[in-house]
Amino acid sequence: MTDPLAAAALQARENAHAPYSNFRVGAALEDSEGHVHTGCNVENATYGLTVCAERVAVLKAMSEGVRSFRRIAVAADTGTLTPPCGACRQILWEFCGDIEVVLVNPHGKTETLQLKALFPRAYDRSFL
């Protein structure tokens, strides 16, 4: 793994709490100064209260006062790389803008794209 952000997402995945689905996800969010903020999914028995890795990373960074981001890496152990869910796409758009999204799995497969490609016509403050 040559990309340290992808490696951080894979490492964060190891901390996931997924006793119900066993679907462990890690995320690593790089801020504008190069610092990395990680997150993992944390499941709840009611599922609706589960928090995705991407949202954990964004909220951790925001809670530390960070407001500008470059890119995010998302790691899951799937053959077809797993993009952020719809809720995570909205949070990423709102707080990070059209950042680079790196999808990765533990077997060395990666794909990089812009958030706008995953989330065309995103809803934001311009509609308010």
Summarised one tens digit per residue, pLDDT across range 18-53 is 999 999 999 999 999 999 999 999 999 999 999 999
Is residue 54 flagged as an active site residue?
A: yes
pTM listed for this prediction: 0.96
CATH architecture of 4-127: 3-Layer(aba) Sandwich (3.40)
Kindly tell me if the per-residue pLDDT of 1 is higher than 70: no
Handedness of CA 34, 101, 5, 91 (dihedral sign): positive
DSSP string, 17-78: B-TTT---EEEEEEETTS-EEEEE-B--TTSTT-B-HHHHHHHHHHHTT---EEEEEEEES-
The catalytic residue among 54, 64, 100, 111 is 54
Sequence spans of domains, the chain: 4-127
Which helix or strand (DSSP H or E) is residue 5 part of?
helix 4-13
pLDDT band, very low/low/confident/very high, at 2 (cuts 50, 70, 90): confident
Query: Could you tell me where the beta strands, DSSP code E, fall in 32-68?
Result: 36-40
